[in-house]
Each structure stands twice: as structure tokens, then as C-alpha cells.
Amino acid sequence: MGAQQQPQRIVSLLTQHIVWVLLLLGVLGLADTAGAAPKTAGRVLGALSFRGSLSALPQWKRVVREAPQEVSLLGNCTVGAQGCPDAATTWQALLEQGNDLSERQQLQKVNARLNRWPYRMDPEAYGVFDYWATPLEFLRQSGDCEDFCIVKYYALREMGFAVERLRIVVVRDTIRNVTHAVLRVQLADKAVILDNLSDLVVSQDKYGHYHPQYSVNEHYRWAHVIPRQHSPTSLSTLRPR
């Protein structure tokens, strides 16, 4: 009797599992069409967001802990005085140049100016396989893609951009088949991307080949899921340097 009931129980459990999967896929599909808002409104590179804590990102937590004091020193110390980092000259000039610019012009200034730093892999710059640099560390030693994002993030915070408008997004670049990081900034009408691969600042909708994995700001981490029927648009106008 037990042997006869076991296959039926397995079929029942499998059926329940399939139903739950179909329901989940249906929810993700409905998210594309529900409501009057545009399909990509509020999304990160076309993906849905699921918020969590920063507990799994100790390197980013270290940056968040140390960066405010560094940024204060860079912005307020007297250039040339004892204890004032050499990088303060660059930092203060960048912030001063952004004072009278529009937000979009500020983004272009920050992106282009900080993209002048050389790209350096973590083992070369910091002697470890993976390292997230603070703004001061980056200005002194440069870094890789997430380090460009971090220094731009804090430059924009100093220019008055609210934390809710900024996200460092770790993506899968499906053209180069590598993991990459970019800075997403929410403007009044759209979200734009700052990328160390280009000085252009354009809408996130142009980066269909970037598939977001997770994103962070000072307070939260988000996991991302690309809804079904999402059809990315390739960016043909930008080329990696």
C-alpha cells in the first residue's frame, strides 16, 4: 500500500512545485504590463529590484564606514598644509568646477574627469584578488571598474545628489562576457549610466547588454531579476577603451 502511494505523492509534490513556478513567472510577466507607468519605470537596467541588507558585502561596508571622513578631509583641508593629501587639489577643483553646472553637466564633468585615471586591476593596485577602494585610495592608486564607481558616487554626493538617486550596479557585460560595474544616477526624467568605458552619459535604456546582478548604495543592497519577455537593446554607439 505504501509503495503504491509513494509515486502519487511524488506526482502531487511535483505538481505543486510547477504551479508555484508558474505563478512566480506570471507575477514577473505581469510586472511588465501592470499599471500605466512605462515598462522600465523605476527599474535598474530593465530589471526588477529586491532590497536587502549590506551584511554580505564587507568591502563595501568598509568603504561606507571610512569614506565620509576621507571626503571631509579632501574637501576641507588646506592644499599644501601638513596632513592634507596631495589628492585634495584634484578633489577640490572637481567640486568647485561643478558648482555652477546643471545636474547633467555635473555628471558629464565627474565622469569624464575621473575616467582619466588609469584602469588598474586589484592585484596590481592593492595586492589582493578583489578590493573596493575608498575615494582617497582611488585618487592615489587608481583601481578597477567598481573603484571608478565609488569615487564618482562620493563626488556626486558632495555635489548634493541624494543617496536615493545613486546606485553602484554590478552587471554582466554580455558583449565582453565579463563582470563589470557602473554608476546609475536617477534624474528627473530618466536614469543614466556613468561608465569608466565611456565619457558619454546616456540613458540606462541604451545599455541593454548590461545585465544587472546586484546594486548598492550607502544603506541597502538590491538583487535583480530580468523579467521574462525583456528584450535588451544592444548599445552599438559605445566602444570599450
pLDDT at 220 over 60: yes
pTM above 0.85, yes or no: no
- Domain 44-225 falls in which CATH fold? C8orf32 fold (3.10.620)
Nearest to 135 by CA among 148, 122, 123: 148
Residue 198 has pLDDT above 50, yes or no: yes
pLDDT tens-digit map of 63-120:
999 999 999 999 999 988 988 999 999 999 999 998 889 999 999 999 999 999 999 9
Class of residue 84 by CB neighbours under 10 A (exposed 0-12, middle 13-18, buried 19+): middle
Count other Cβ atoms within 10 Å, centred on residue 200.
16
Q: Is 53 left (phi over 0), alpha (psi -120 to 50) or beta?
A: beta
Residue 191 gets the label, from left (phi > 0), alpha (psi -120 to 50) or beta, of beta
Q: Are 133 and 147 in contact (CB under 8 A)?
A: yes
